[in-house]
A = this chain, B = another copy of it.
Amino acid sequence: MPSTQSQSEHMDEVFKALADPTRRAILDHLKDGRKTTTQLVQEFPQMTRFGVMKHLNILEGAQLVVSKKEGRTRWNHLNAVPLRLIYERWVSGYENQWAGSLIKLKHAVESKHTSTNSQKKGDPQ
């Protein structure tokens, strides 16, 4: 059992953390390797330092980022584990669906060209 939060609460934090484009950009920057807070701040000139730090703290709360203090600098590391958990609970689990209902789903799409059909193609019957 986790310590302070349940698994689903953790997932909620992870999804909420991923919901912001700036935070996803931060993760992308950390993909190349660890960075200090100041280095990250420099990647977002349009935002204040504290803005970036708040995003960093949210990412750390979701355990998508792990930080290590070294002297007066804070090294921020990417942690892909929560992403892996999303895959296990939300992608692989849902793919059972594919074989079973993808055909009728396909029918649904084709026979309707749904409401918000962002993509062209169909004449609306």
A interface residues (Cβ-Cβ under 8 A, vs B): 2-5, 7-8, 10, 12, 15-16, 18-19, 21, 24, 27, 31, 33-34, 57, 60-61, 63, 66-69, 75, 77-81, 83-87, 90-91, 93-95, 97-98, 101, 104-105, 107-109, 111-112, 114-120, 124
Q: Which of B5, B21, B68 contacts A112 (CB 8 A)?
A: B68
| Minimum Cβ distance to chain B for residue A8 (Å) | 8
- A-B CB contact pairs (8 Å), 22 listed: A2-B116, A4-B116, A10-B118, A15-B15, A16-B19, A18-B18, A18-B90, A27-B94, A33-B101, A60-B115, A63-B118, A66-B105, A66-B109, A68-B114, A75-B108, A77-B105, A78-B94, A80-B91, A81-B124, A83-B91, A84-B91, A87-B91
Chain copies in complex: 2
